[in-house]
Amino acid sequence: MVKIKSIKPKEIKDSRGNPTVFVEIETNKGRFSASVPSGASTGKNEAVCLQTTIAIENIRKIIAPALKGREFAFIQELDEALIALDGTENKSKLGANAILPISISSCRAFAKEQKKPLYLHISDIFGTDPKLPLACFNVIEGGAHAKNNLDVQEFMIIPQRKKFRENFKIASDIYVALGKALNCPLGDEGGFAPSLDTAVQALYSLKGVITDDARIGLDVAASQFYSEGKYHIERKELSRGELLYYYKDLISKFPIDFIEDPFSEEDWSGFADARRELGVTIIGDDLLTTNVKRIKDAEQRSACNGVVIKPNQIGTITETIEAAKLARSFGWMLLVSHRSGETDDDFISDLAVGIAAEYIKSGSPVTKARMAKYNRLMEIEKEHG
Protein backbone atom coordinates (compact mmCIF):
# COMPACT_ATOMS: atom_id res chain seq x y z
CA MET A 1 0.00 0.00 0.00
CA VAL A 2 1.08 3.56 -0.72
CA LYS A 3 -0.16 6.23 1.67
CA ILE A 4 -0.19 9.86 0.54
CA LYS A 5 1.16 12.15 3.25
CA SER A 6 1.51 15.39 1.31
CA ILE A 7 1.46 16.83 -2.22
CA LYS A 8 3.47 19.99 -2.91
CA PRO A 9 3.33 21.67 -6.33
CA LYS A 10 5.44 24.50 -7.67
CA GLU A 11 6.07 26.32 -10.94
CA ILE A 12 9.19 25.59 -13.00
CA LYS A 13 10.27 26.53 -16.54
CA ASP A 14 10.22 24.10 -19.42
CA SER A 15 12.84 23.91 -22.20
CA ARG A 16 11.20 26.78 -24.08
CA GLY A 17 11.22 28.95 -20.96
CA ASN A 18 7.47 28.63 -20.41
CA PRO A 19 5.97 27.88 -16.97
CA THR A 20 4.92 24.33 -16.15
CA VAL A 21 4.05 22.23 -13.09
CA PHE A 22 6.41 20.31 -10.79
CA VAL A 23 5.05 18.16 -7.97
CA GLU A 24 6.67 16.39 -5.04
CA ILE A 25 4.63 13.86 -3.11
CA GLU A 26 5.56 12.42 0.25
CA THR A 27 4.39 8.88 0.94
CA ASN A 28 5.11 6.08 3.39
CA LYS A 29 7.63 4.87 0.80
CA GLY A 30 9.53 8.15 0.55
CA ARG A 31 9.43 11.32 -1.55
CA PHE A 32 8.80 11.19 -5.30
CA SER A 33 8.55 13.95 -7.88
CA ALA A 34 7.49 14.59 -11.45
CA SER A 35 7.08 17.46 -13.88
CA VAL A 36 5.04 17.79 -17.04
CA PRO A 37 5.91 19.05 -20.54
CA SER A 38 3.84 21.03 -23.02
CA GLY A 39 3.48 20.83 -26.79
CA ALA A 40 3.64 23.53 -29.46
CA SER A 41 1.87 21.34 -32.02
CA THR A 42 -1.12 19.96 -30.13
CA GLY A 43 -4.15 17.97 -31.22
CA LYS A 44 -7.55 19.51 -30.52
CA ASN A 45 -8.68 16.30 -28.80
CA GLU A 46 -5.90 16.30 -26.21
CA ALA A 47 -6.68 16.53 -22.50
CA VAL A 48 -6.88 20.15 -21.39
CA CYS A 49 -3.84 21.81 -19.83
CA LEU A 50 -4.83 24.83 -17.76
CA GLN A 51 -2.80 27.92 -17.04
CA THR A 52 0.05 26.84 -14.76
CA THR A 53 -1.02 29.00 -11.81
CA ILE A 54 -4.57 27.60 -12.00
CA ALA A 55 -3.31 24.00 -12.21
CA ILE A 56 -1.12 24.56 -9.15
CA GLU A 57 -4.03 26.06 -7.20
CA ASN A 58 -6.17 23.06 -8.15
CA ILE A 59 -3.51 20.75 -6.72
CA ARG A 60 -3.25 22.77 -3.50
CA LYS A 61 -6.95 23.35 -2.89
CA ILE A 62 -8.65 20.30 -4.43
CA ILE A 63 -6.33 17.36 -5.18
CA ALA A 64 -3.99 17.49 -2.17
CA PRO A 65 -6.78 17.71 0.45
CA ALA A 66 -8.71 14.92 -1.26
CA LEU A 67 -5.76 12.49 -1.38
CA LYS A 68 -3.92 13.34 1.83
CA GLY A 69 -4.02 10.45 4.31
CA ARG A 70 -5.49 7.99 1.81
CA GLU A 71 -3.94 4.61 1.01
CA PHE A 72 -3.88 3.04 -2.45
CA ALA A 73 -2.99 -0.49 -3.48
CA PHE A 74 -2.28 0.18 -7.16
CA ILE A 75 -1.58 3.10 -9.50
CA GLN A 76 -4.87 2.30 -11.25
CA GLU A 77 -6.76 2.92 -8.01
CA LEU A 78 -5.06 6.28 -7.44
CA ASP A 79 -5.60 7.35 -11.05
CA GLU A 80 -9.27 6.44 -10.80
CA ALA A 81 -9.52 8.72 -7.77
CA LEU A 82 -7.93 11.56 -9.76
CA ILE A 83 -10.23 10.97 -12.73
CA ALA A 84 -13.30 10.96 -10.47
CA LEU A 85 -12.13 14.10 -8.70
CA ASP A 86 -11.91 15.88 -12.05
CA GLY A 87 -15.18 14.46 -13.36
CA THR A 88 -14.76 15.56 -16.97
CA GLU A 89 -13.89 13.59 -20.07
CA ASN A 90 -10.96 15.82 -21.03
CA LYS A 91 -9.54 16.86 -17.59
CA SER A 92 -10.87 20.38 -18.11
CA LYS A 93 -11.83 20.93 -14.45
CA LEU A 94 -8.48 20.26 -12.78
CA GLY A 95 -6.20 20.23 -15.82
CA ALA A 96 -4.08 17.39 -17.20
CA ASN A 97 -1.03 19.36 -16.09
CA ALA A 98 -2.32 19.16 -12.48
CA ILE A 99 -3.27 15.47 -12.61
CA LEU A 100 -0.36 13.97 -14.57
CA PRO A 101 2.58 14.89 -12.29
CA ILE A 102 0.73 13.32 -9.37
CA SER A 103 0.06 10.18 -11.43
CA ILE A 104 3.73 9.93 -12.50
CA SER A 105 5.21 10.56 -9.06
CA SER A 106 2.74 8.06 -7.57
CA CYS A 107 3.73 5.48 -10.17
CA ARG A 108 7.31 5.91 -8.96
CA ALA A 109 6.10 5.35 -5.40
CA PHE A 110 4.34 2.12 -6.37
CA ALA A 111 7.51 0.90 -8.10
CA LYS A 112 9.41 1.56 -4.87
CA GLU A 113 6.70 -0.27 -2.93
CA GLN A 114 7.14 -3.25 -5.27
CA LYS A 115 10.95 -2.98 -4.88
CA LYS A 116 11.37 -2.86 -8.65
CA PRO A 117 12.85 -0.41 -11.15
CA LEU A 118 10.15 1.79 -12.65
CA TYR A 119 10.33 0.16 -16.09
CA LEU A 120 9.80 -3.30 -14.59
CA HIS A 121 6.82 -2.07 -12.58
CA ILE A 122 5.33 -0.64 -15.79
CA SER A 123 6.02 -3.88 -17.69
CA ASP A 124 4.12 -5.78 -14.98
CA ILE A 125 1.12 -3.49 -15.47
CA PHE A 126 1.36 -3.71 -19.24
CA GLY A 127 1.87 -7.47 -19.25
CA THR A 128 4.98 -7.79 -21.41
CA ASP A 129 8.72 -8.24 -21.11
CA PRO A 130 10.64 -4.94 -21.09
CA LYS A 131 12.58 -3.99 -24.21
CA LEU A 132 14.82 -1.09 -25.22
CA PRO A 133 13.29 0.96 -28.06
CA LEU A 134 14.99 2.36 -31.11
CA ALA A 135 15.44 6.11 -30.71
CA CYS A 136 14.23 8.60 -33.30
CA PHE A 137 16.55 11.60 -33.07
CA ASN A 138 15.04 14.83 -34.39
CA VAL A 139 17.90 16.48 -36.29
CA ILE A 140 16.11 18.84 -38.69
CA GLU A 141 13.09 20.87 -37.60
CA GLY A 142 10.36 22.85 -39.32
CA GLY A 143 6.68 23.61 -38.84
CA ALA A 144 5.63 24.82 -35.38
CA HIS A 145 9.04 23.90 -33.93
CA ALA A 146 11.22 26.26 -35.96
CA LYS A 147 11.36 29.69 -37.53
CA ASN A 148 12.02 28.66 -41.11
CA ASN A 149 10.17 27.75 -44.31
CA LEU A 150 10.01 23.98 -43.80
CA ASP A 151 6.43 22.77 -43.42
CA VAL A 152 7.30 19.22 -42.34
CA GLN A 153 7.84 19.43 -38.59
CA GLU A 154 10.44 16.75 -37.79
CA PHE A 155 13.08 14.90 -39.78
CA MET A 156 14.35 12.07 -37.57
CA ILE A 157 17.22 9.65 -37.94
CA ILE A 158 16.77 6.11 -36.58
CA PRO A 159 20.04 4.15 -36.14
CA GLN A 160 19.38 0.42 -36.33
CA ARG A 161 22.03 -1.20 -34.10
CA LYS A 162 20.90 -3.56 -31.32
CA LYS A 163 22.56 -1.57 -28.52
CA PHE A 164 21.07 1.77 -27.56
CA ARG A 165 24.47 3.20 -26.66
CA GLU A 166 25.78 2.37 -30.14
CA ASN A 167 22.75 4.01 -31.73
CA PHE A 168 23.26 7.12 -29.64
CA LYS A 169 26.91 7.34 -30.80
CA ILE A 170 25.83 7.03 -34.45
CA ALA A 171 23.20 9.74 -33.96
CA SER A 172 25.69 12.05 -32.25
CA ASP A 173 28.18 11.65 -35.10
CA ILE A 174 25.48 12.34 -37.68
CA TYR A 175 24.30 15.37 -35.70
CA VAL A 176 27.83 16.84 -35.64
CA ALA A 177 28.34 16.24 -39.37
CA LEU A 178 24.94 17.72 -40.19
CA GLY A 179 25.66 20.76 -38.05
CA LYS A 180 28.85 21.44 -40.00
CA ALA A 181 26.99 21.06 -43.29
CA LEU A 182 23.99 23.25 -42.40
CA ASN A 183 25.55 25.86 -40.05
CA CYS A 184 22.19 27.22 -38.83
CA PRO A 185 20.16 27.94 -35.67
CA LEU A 186 18.39 25.26 -33.64
CA GLY A 187 14.67 24.55 -33.27
CA ASP A 188 12.65 23.81 -30.14
CA GLU A 189 13.94 20.26 -29.77
CA GLY A 190 17.62 20.87 -30.46
CA GLY A 191 17.44 19.88 -34.13
CA PHE A 192 18.74 22.18 -36.84
CA ALA A 193 16.39 24.78 -38.34
CA PRO A 194 17.97 25.47 -41.74
CA SER A 195 16.89 28.00 -44.33
CA LEU A 196 15.52 25.38 -46.69
CA ASP A 197 12.26 25.49 -48.60
CA THR A 198 11.31 21.86 -49.20
CA ALA A 199 11.33 18.48 -47.51
CA VAL A 200 13.34 17.08 -50.41
CA GLN A 201 16.14 19.57 -49.70
CA ALA A 202 16.14 18.62 -46.02
CA LEU A 203 16.13 14.90 -46.82
CA TYR A 204 19.03 15.23 -49.27
CA SER A 205 20.95 17.05 -46.51
CA LEU A 206 20.26 14.07 -44.27
CA LYS A 207 21.07 11.52 -46.94
CA GLY A 208 24.48 13.09 -47.35
CA VAL A 209 25.50 12.36 -43.74
CA ILE A 210 23.57 9.29 -42.54
CA THR A 211 25.12 5.85 -42.50
CA ASP A 212 23.75 2.71 -44.14
CA ASP A 213 22.47 1.46 -40.79
CA ALA A 214 20.27 4.50 -40.13
CA ARG A 215 16.72 5.05 -41.34
CA ILE A 216 14.48 8.13 -41.42
CA GLY A 217 11.16 9.00 -39.76
CA LEU A 218 8.99 12.02 -40.55
CA ASP A 219 6.56 13.88 -38.33
CA VAL A 220 4.63 15.93 -40.85
CA ALA A 221 2.06 17.41 -38.40
CA ALA A 222 -0.18 18.12 -41.40
CA SER A 223 -2.90 19.76 -39.30
CA GLN A 224 -0.57 22.75 -39.05
CA PHE A 225 -0.84 23.49 -42.80
CA TYR A 226 -4.40 22.31 -43.48
CA SER A 227 -7.29 24.69 -44.06
CA GLU A 228 -10.58 24.68 -45.98
CA GLY A 229 -10.07 21.22 -47.45
CA LYS A 230 -6.58 21.86 -48.80
CA TYR A 231 -3.01 21.27 -47.67
CA HIS A 232 -0.84 24.38 -48.05
CA ILE A 233 2.69 23.03 -48.27
CA GLU A 234 5.82 24.43 -49.91
CA ARG A 235 3.89 27.32 -51.44
CA LYS A 236 1.45 24.92 -53.10
CA GLU A 237 -2.19 24.10 -52.45
CA LEU A 238 -2.59 20.33 -52.57
CA SER A 239 -5.61 18.06 -52.46
CA ARG A 240 -5.58 14.89 -50.37
CA GLY A 241 -4.64 12.82 -53.42
CA GLU A 242 -1.88 15.22 -54.45
CA LEU A 243 -0.39 15.15 -50.94
CA LEU A 244 -0.47 11.34 -51.01
CA TYR A 245 1.51 11.40 -54.27
CA TYR A 246 3.95 13.86 -52.63
CA TYR A 247 4.61 11.26 -49.91
CA LYS A 248 5.01 8.47 -52.46
CA ASP A 249 7.72 10.50 -54.17
CA LEU A 250 9.61 11.05 -50.89
CA ILE A 251 9.40 7.36 -49.99
CA SER A 252 10.75 6.36 -53.41
CA LYS A 253 13.85 8.54 -52.91
CA PHE A 254 14.73 8.17 -49.22
CA PRO A 255 14.93 5.38 -46.58
CA ILE A 256 11.75 6.38 -44.72
CA ASP A 257 10.38 3.96 -42.12
CA PHE A 258 7.31 5.85 -40.92
CA ILE A 259 5.27 9.00 -41.40
CA GLU A 260 3.54 10.57 -38.43
CA ASP A 261 0.37 12.63 -38.98
CA PRO A 262 0.55 12.70 -42.80
CA PHE A 263 -2.91 14.26 -42.94
CA SER A 264 -5.04 16.57 -40.82
CA GLU A 265 -6.30 15.29 -37.45
CA GLU A 266 -9.84 14.86 -38.79
CA ASP A 267 -8.93 13.59 -42.26
CA TRP A 268 -9.68 9.93 -41.59
CA SER A 269 -9.85 9.13 -45.30
CA GLY A 270 -6.40 10.59 -45.88
CA PHE A 271 -4.94 8.40 -43.14
CA ALA A 272 -6.68 5.32 -44.53
CA ASP A 273 -5.33 6.07 -48.02
CA ALA A 274 -1.84 6.50 -46.60
CA ARG A 275 -1.97 3.21 -44.70
CA ARG A 276 -3.26 1.38 -47.76
CA GLU A 277 -0.95 2.88 -50.39
CA LEU A 278 2.33 4.15 -48.92
CA GLY A 279 3.91 0.92 -47.68
CA VAL A 280 5.40 2.49 -44.53
CA THR A 281 4.07 2.67 -40.98
CA ILE A 282 1.42 5.37 -40.61
CA ILE A 283 1.46 6.81 -37.10
CA GLY A 284 -1.33 8.84 -35.51
CA ASP A 285 -0.50 11.60 -33.04
CA ASP A 286 -2.87 14.57 -33.35
CA LEU A 287 -5.34 12.10 -34.86
CA LEU A 288 -5.31 9.80 -31.83
CA THR A 289 -4.10 11.84 -28.81
CA THR A 290 -3.35 8.70 -26.75
CA ASN A 291 -7.11 8.22 -26.51
CA VAL A 292 -8.73 4.76 -26.43
CA LYS A 293 -11.87 5.89 -28.25
CA ARG A 294 -9.95 7.43 -31.12
CA ILE A 295 -7.60 4.45 -31.38
CA LYS A 296 -10.66 2.18 -31.71
CA ASP A 297 -12.05 4.46 -34.43
CA ALA A 298 -8.74 4.39 -36.27
CA GLU A 299 -8.62 0.60 -36.25
CA GLN A 300 -12.21 0.35 -37.51
CA ARG A 301 -11.37 2.76 -40.34
CA SER A 302 -7.96 1.14 -41.08
CA ALA A 303 -6.47 4.59 -40.61
CA CYS A 304 -3.23 3.77 -38.76
CA ASN A 305 -0.85 0.99 -37.86
CA GLY A 306 1.12 2.99 -35.33
CA VAL A 307 0.40 5.35 -32.44
CA VAL A 308 2.30 8.08 -30.63
CA ILE A 309 2.04 7.66 -26.86
CA LYS A 310 2.20 10.94 -24.91
CA PRO A 311 1.04 10.81 -21.28
CA ASN A 312 0.10 14.50 -21.15
CA GLN A 313 -2.33 14.03 -24.04
CA ILE A 314 -4.58 11.93 -21.80
CA GLY A 315 -3.60 12.88 -18.25
CA THR A 316 -2.90 9.71 -16.23
CA ILE A 317 -0.48 6.80 -16.46
CA THR A 318 -3.30 4.26 -16.27
CA GLU A 319 -5.05 5.75 -19.32
CA THR A 320 -1.71 6.02 -21.14
CA ILE A 321 -1.01 2.32 -20.62
CA GLU A 322 -4.57 1.38 -21.61
CA ALA A 323 -4.14 3.25 -24.90
CA ALA A 324 -0.84 1.50 -25.59
CA LYS A 325 -2.34 -1.90 -24.71
CA LEU A 326 -5.22 -1.39 -27.11
CA ALA A 327 -2.94 -0.33 -29.95
CA ARG A 328 -0.70 -3.31 -29.29
CA SER A 329 -3.73 -5.64 -29.39
CA PHE A 330 -4.31 -4.39 -32.95
CA GLY A 331 -0.69 -5.21 -33.86
CA TRP A 332 0.25 -1.54 -34.09
CA MET A 333 3.70 -0.06 -33.60
CA LEU A 334 4.21 2.07 -30.45
CA LEU A 335 6.19 5.31 -30.41
CA VAL A 336 6.60 6.95 -26.99
CA SER A 337 7.17 10.68 -27.32
CA HIS A 338 8.31 13.75 -25.46
CA ARG A 339 6.89 17.24 -26.16
CA SER A 340 8.61 20.26 -27.67
CA GLY A 341 8.43 22.09 -24.33
CA GLU A 342 10.22 19.53 -22.14
CA THR A 343 11.51 19.20 -18.59
CA ASP A 344 14.30 17.10 -17.07
CA ASP A 345 11.81 14.39 -16.08
CA ASP A 346 12.83 11.05 -17.62
CA PHE A 347 9.62 9.07 -17.00
CA ILE A 348 8.95 8.41 -20.69
CA SER A 349 12.18 6.39 -20.96
CA ASP A 350 10.94 3.89 -18.36
CA LEU A 351 7.53 3.96 -20.00
CA ALA A 352 8.95 3.11 -23.44
CA VAL A 353 10.96 0.19 -22.04
CA GLY A 354 8.10 -1.00 -19.84
CA ILE A 355 5.59 -1.23 -22.70
CA ALA A 356 8.23 -2.61 -25.10
CA ALA A 357 7.68 0.25 -27.54
CA GLU A 358 9.40 -0.04 -30.90
CA TYR A 359 10.43 3.62 -30.85
CA ILE A 360 11.01 6.57 -28.56
CA LYS A 361 11.57 10.15 -29.65
CA SER A 362 13.02 12.82 -27.43
CA GLY A 363 14.52 15.35 -29.79
CA SER A 364 18.14 15.73 -30.81
CA PRO A 365 21.09 14.11 -28.99
CA VAL A 366 21.83 17.40 -27.17
CA THR A 367 20.29 19.78 -24.58
CA LYS A 368 19.61 18.88 -20.96
CA ALA A 369 15.91 18.04 -21.17
CA ARG A 370 16.39 15.72 -24.18
CA MET A 371 19.52 14.08 -22.82
CA ALA A 372 17.75 13.22 -19.54
CA LYS A 373 15.67 10.69 -21.49
CA TYR A 374 18.56 9.26 -23.50
CA ASN A 375 20.81 8.99 -20.44
CA ARG A 376 18.08 7.12 -18.59
CA LEU A 377 17.79 4.66 -21.48
CA MET A 378 21.53 4.03 -21.33
CA GLU A 379 21.22 3.41 -17.58
CA ILE A 380 18.41 0.92 -18.17
CA GLU A 381 20.41 -0.82 -20.90
CA LYS A 382 23.36 -1.19 -18.53
CA GLU A 383 21.08 -2.56 -15.82
CA HIS A 384 18.79 -4.72 -17.91
CA GLY A 385 21.19 -5.88 -20.61
What are 63-96's pLDDT values in tens digits? 999 999 999 999 999 999 999 999 999 999 999 9
Could you tell me where in the chain the CATH 3.20.20.120 domains are found?
126-384
**For the domain bounded by 126-384, which CATH number is listed?**
3.20.20.120
pLDDT value of position 212: 86
Residue 254 backbone dihedrals phi, psi, to 5 degrees: -135, 155
pLDDT value of position 44: 84
Q: Would you state the CATH architecture of domain 2-115?
A: 2-Layer Sandwich (3.30)
Tens of pLDDT, residue by residue over 310-325, are 999 999 999 999 999 9
The angle formed by the CA atoms of residues 142, 339 and 134, to the nearest 5 degrees, is: 90
CA 104 to chain centre: 15
What is the average per-residue pLDDT within 210-231?
94
Lowest mean pLDDT among 14-18, 123-127, 282-286: 14-18
pLDDT value of position 327: 98
pLDDT at 385 over 80: no
> Burial letters for 52-75: b for 16+ Cβ neighbours within 10 Å, e otherwise?
beebbebbeeebbeebeeeebeeb
Share of the chain above pLDDT 90, in %: 94
Could you tell me where in the chain the CATH 3.30.390.10 domains are found?
2-115
Q: Is 264 left (phi over 0), alpha (psi -120 to 50) or beta?
A: beta
Contact criterion met (CB below 8 Å) for 353 and 319: no
Compute the mean pLDDT over every residue in the chain, rounded to the nearest whole number.
96
pLDDT value of position 225: 97
pLDDT value of position 40: 63
Contact criterion met (CB below 8 Å) for 170 and 213: yes
Tens of pLDDT, residue by residue over 344-377, are 999 999 999 999 999 999 999 998 999 999 999 9
Query: pLDDT grade, residue 211 (50/70/90)?
Result: confident
Q: Which long-range contacts (CB under 8 A, 24 or more apart) does 372-377 make?
A: 372/344, 372/345, 372/346, 373/338, 373/346, 373/348, 373/349, 374/135, 374/168, 374/349, 375/346, 376/346, 376/349, 376/350, 377/132, 377/133, 377/135, 377/164, 377/349, 377/352, 377/353
Does the model's pTM come out above 0.85? yes
Task: Enumerate the active-site residues.
Answer: 189, 310
